[in-house]
Amino acid sequence: GVGANGHREEDFRFCGDRNQTQESSVIYEHGHPAISIENTAQGLIIKRPFSPNRRNSYYKYSLPAPLGRYRFCVYWFESSRTLQLVYGKQSILLGGDPSSSIPWGQESQKTERTSAYIFNVSYITKGGKNTSLDAKAEYFFPASPESMPVWEQDVEEQLTALDSLLAQPPVPAMGATEQQRLRRKLGELEKMLAKVELEGQNQTFGEATVHATVLRVQPSQAPQHLTFASQREESGEVQGFTVDLPSSLFMMVKEREEVVEHRVLLMDINRQTMFQDENSSHILGDKVVSISLVDTVVANLSDPVVLTFFHDQLPRNVTPLCVFWQEDTSASSGSWDSYGCTTVTGSSQTECRCNHLTYFAVLMVSSPEITSVHRNYLSIITYVGCLISALASICTIFFLYFR
């Protein structure tokens, strides 16, 4: 037989031996909330839930031509919501290219399916033990509640609910408990974005206070710089922003483990309600931008993440400062902190260079104006200083002249 090599630690793995007695293929199609593997003489049939608009199509992949016994493994990666088949030396990312799907009924004749056993079967779930199974033609693995698929409409519903909470009239002194409740809702949204089934490489959700974008980066395209630009906002105090993720970010992840894909989450939050500290600090344009890499804590990057906010010219008595939200579990709240971030200011933009990923904003630090009384005192001091300087100069000239 031909061996199948695994990748990084997967959330589920199924392996078995298949006798290939004729030219055959892999059929990948919609199934119930579970993963199922069925073997026939004509091909290997793998099923898992598809999004509603993909259920009228399937995928077909050719298997190696030589006949004989093949070792194959099916890998499920929860973080990227991807299913991978390794058949002998061939590796297939199932459903990886939506444009290659085949609509049901397009083929002229239905493929005959003759059941055939799979041998030397075993499976393992993350954190569990490798379990051997008897030889059969079909295997079915029900999905756990946490691994149930999330569809795009589920994300939109969660966003609408969060927008409704944020749209409520502001309370003069919002308690820490209410802020925590809103941030919990935001955390639930992030978990949904981490596992939502996407049709393409990138997808943006939301039309009101919170906008969320999911960026999928294939390992073949990484390491590379990844740049994202938000939509232009003419009416706001912040007209937009750009994010530049360095290649070292993806290099760091690649060194730790081999991934099927990177998933970057960007959240554009246009209200400070959830991020109010004890000092009632004011942030530029009420805008908070969240940047994260799914299932990865990113800190101490060798090259910074660059987040640029575009805005009108700021008042003279205000100094912009790039900050991130530091959650304080003991105080049930949090605070803004500038550690690890450098601020580069311009007339109409503020650039934040940070060595980690989290919730970012630009804090507006007030520079108190000089009062008229202090201005008069400073003027007197200036005049006296100038007079003393002039007298000293005259004395020097006389000294040199009569020397």
In tens digits, the chain (403 residues) has pLDDT values of 443 444 457 889 999 999 999 999 999 998 877 899 999 999 999 999 887 777 888 999 999 999 999 999 999 988 777 899 999 999 999 987 777 788 877 654 456 789 999 999 999 998 889 999 999 999 999 877 666 778 888 899 899 999 988 887 766 555 667 788 888 889 999 999 988 888 777 899 988 899 999 998 876 655 577 899 998 888 888 999 999 999 888 776 655 555 567 889 999 999 888 888 888 889 999 999 999 998 888 888 889 999 999 999 888 888 999 999 998 766 667 889 999 999 999 989 999 999 999 999 999 988 654 445 555 666 677 777 778 887 777 777 777 767 6
Task: Return the pLDDT at 370.
Answer: 42
Say if residues 282 and 237 touch (Cβ distance below 8 Å): no
Give the integer Cα–Cα distance in Å for 84 and 94. 6
Give the integer Cα–Cα distance in Å for 141 and 157. 29
Task: Return the pLDDT at 371.
Answer: 46
Structure token digits, residue 177: 């408990």
Q: Where are the domains of the chain?
A: 12-147, 152-366, 374-403
Burial class (CB in 10 A: 0-12, 13-18, 19+), 241: buried
Q: What are the residues whose beta carbons fall under 8 Å from the beta carbon of 182, sequence distance 6 or more?
A: 162, 165, 166, 273, 274
Burial 17-26 (b: 16+ CB within 10 A, else e): ebebeeebeb
Task: Return the pLDDT at 108.
Answer: 46
Kindly state the DSSP code that residue 193 receives in the 8-state scheme: H
- Cα 27 to chain centroid, rounded: 31
Q: What angle do CA 171, 176, 177 make, to 5 degrees?
A: 95
Q: Identify the CATH assignment for 152-366 out of 2.60.120.10, 3.40.50.1820, 2.60.220.50, 2.40.30.170.
A: 2.60.220.50
Give the integer Cα–Cα distance in Å for 104 and 92. 21
Is the dihedral angle over the CA atoms 283, 289, 293, 295 positive or is it negative? Answer: positive
- Cα 319 to chain centroid, rounded: 30
- Nearest CA to 48 out of 81, 89, 70, 97 is that of 81
- Nearest CA to 360 out of 315, 279, 402, 298 is that of 298
